[in-house]
Amino acid sequence: MITPRPYISWSQLSLFETSPESYKRAYMHGKRMYINPGMALGKKVATALETGDDTGDPITDLVIAQLPKLDVMEKEIRATIEVGGYKIPLLGKMDTAKNDLSEFKEYKTGTTPWDQKMADKHGQITFYCVIIQALTNRIPKRIELVHAVTKMTPQGQPQLTGEINRFLTTRGTKDILWAKIRMKKAWIGINKLFEDELI
């Protein structure tokens, strides 16, 4: 298989499923993707969590200090799965996880209010579970989506409110199988995009 990256990440999978043309622009033509203010806030929080540095904003720093943390921040995991005769390399980076991968948490910012149903269906969490199962032969029993609630200021900028909502969620065998089907379709589709680009 010939692809722009030697693996599939969650960001690749979700972008390809949303818009193959956007995937082509970002991963094949190297075009910078538009970063809206909400995405910039999420990036700011992620960077501060990874480096341990203050952001300079008291509310943001307070929220970051209150986020529940496990053994490792920004835990990178890699595995290759086989689906229908295709070997698909996967890459994930969890916000925080236990060293043995028995538990992990995913942080979210944004003005969209998260609820239990959204946490139970969120594909990024399932994506990580596929990799963890491939590495450990088990699906984590304790998974949590942590939402740092965000509001828009009168100036139209996203700002953390200080409120944190936490949703425990689980994944089962059916979820894993469905995710693998999605990964296979994306892997084949990305390969075809790249081959068409080379012709």
Does residue 78 lie within any of the structural domains? yes
DSSP 32: P
Does residue 133 lie within any of the structural domains? yes
Answer yes or no: are the C-beta atoms of 81 and 88 closer than 8 Å: yes
Does residue 1 lie within any of the structural domains? no
Q: How many domains are there within the chain?
A: 1
pLDDT category of residue 38 using cuts at 50, 70 and 90:
low
The first and second tokens of residue 80, run together, are 């290759």
Does residue 3 lie within any of the structural domains? no
Q: Residue 71: its pLDDT value, please?
A: 95
Does residue 181 lie within any of the structural domains? yes
For residues 8, 9, 15, 19, the Cα torsion angle rounded to the nearest 10 degrees is 0
pLDDT of 34 > 70? The answer is no
Mean pLDDT of 89-109: 96
Per the prediction, the chain carries an average pLDDT of 89
Say how far apart CA 87 and CA 155 lie, in whole Å: 48
CA-CA-CA-CA torsion sign (157, 158, 161, 162): negative
Does residue 2 lie within any of the structural domains? no
* Residue span of the structural domain in which 141 resides: 8-198
Q: What is the CATH number of the domain that holds 173?
A: 3.90.320.10
